[in-house]
Homo-oligomer: A and B are copies of this chain.
Amino acid sequence: MIPVSHTASEETGRGPTAAAPAIEVRELCKTFGTNAVLKGIDFHVDQGEVVCVIGPSGSGKSTLLRCVNRLEEPTSGTIVVEGIDITDSETDLDAVRTRIGIVFQQFNLFPHLTVLQNLTLAQRRAKKRGKREAAEVARKNLEKVGLSEKADAFPTQLSGGQQQRVAIARALSMDPDMMLFDEPTSALDPELVGDVLEVMKQLAREGMTMMVVTHEMGFAREVGDRVVFMDGGVVVEQGVPEDVLGNPQHERTQLFLSKVL
């Protein structure tokens, strides 16, 4: 059903190697029923690189990102994360997923747990960390996003911006090798966007590998190592931010940018 290529994992062996890109997507197609959403995507993110993905609504940005940790089952194509072919049915997905942090547009905090419990749950169940170690890691990451004092609050008691920062801290608590963001600021009131972007910039400065789907062109220009413009399920254009945002080559890119800038 899913064509699987073993080449990547055979070449590189299991586990990350310095040479391999963090994420490598080859000829990825994804169809929902008869609706072809991704039409052969070739895409990669290198270790330590910050790649921003932009494009109009419905172009398949979220679907691409969700395929990278198999929240969506690819229809065809290969996805290799740190040398591990995740489209291989023998791959232990749960283990791979602990190495990829994801932050969604909707914060998806667990509403029945406190902030601290949100951060320790997966550490304890998936990483088998002890209670104390998990709490320690959690507190360290809460401090990083500036919310140390909210450890015992419930998510509903926080503003949207605070919730999103907790979601980032939760992902970081798994010590991921890379972070994927899907429009992390779209659900926020304008004056709360800044704090979240600030945390993300800090992460980028620390050298985290990041794939960021965003409409924040300012962020893409300032932080992105590379900008990828998608439309209609294909990558139309990519390059350094100055080129893609400042001097787009393709008509579709120009049209899109004229509307959002």
14 CB < 8 A contacts A-B: A56-B189, A56-B191, A57-B189, A57-B191, A57-B192, A189-B215, A190-B215, A190-B259, A190-B260, A191-B256, A191-B259, A191-B260, A193-B259, A194-B259
The residues of B that contact A189 with a CB separation of less than 8 Å are 56-57, 215
The residues of B that contact A191 with a CB separation of less than 8 Å are 56-57, 256, 259-260
The residues of B that contact A194 with a CB separation of less than 8 Å are 259
Count A-side interface residues using an 8 Å CB cutoff: 12
Q: Which of A55-73 contact B (CB under 8 A)?
A: 56-57
The residues of B that contact A259 with a CB separation of less than 8 Å are 190-191, 193-194
Question: Which residues of A does B touch, CB under 8 Å?
Answer: 56-57, 189-194, 215, 256, 259-260
Looking at A191, A193, A215, A256, which has the most chain B CB atoms within 10 Å of its CB?
A191
Residue of B nearest to A194 (CB): B259
Q: Please report the C-alpha to C-alpha distance between residue A215 and residue B193 in the assembled complex, in whole angstroms.
A: 13
Q: Please report the C-alpha to C-alpha distance between residue A256 and residue B192 in the assembled complex, in whole angstroms.
A: 10
The residues of B that contact A57 with a CB separation of less than 8 Å are 189, 191-192
Q: How far does the Cβ of A134 sit from chain B's closest Cβ, in whole Å?
A: 34
Q: How far does the Cβ of A46 sit from chain B's closest Cβ, in whole Å?
A: 28
Q: How far does the Cβ of A186 sit from chain B's closest Cβ, in whole Å?
A: 9
Q: Please report the C-alpha to C-alpha distance between residue A167 and residue B80 in the assembled complex, in whole angstroms.
A: 47
Q: How far does the Cβ of A183 sit from chain B's closest Cβ, in whole Å?
A: 10
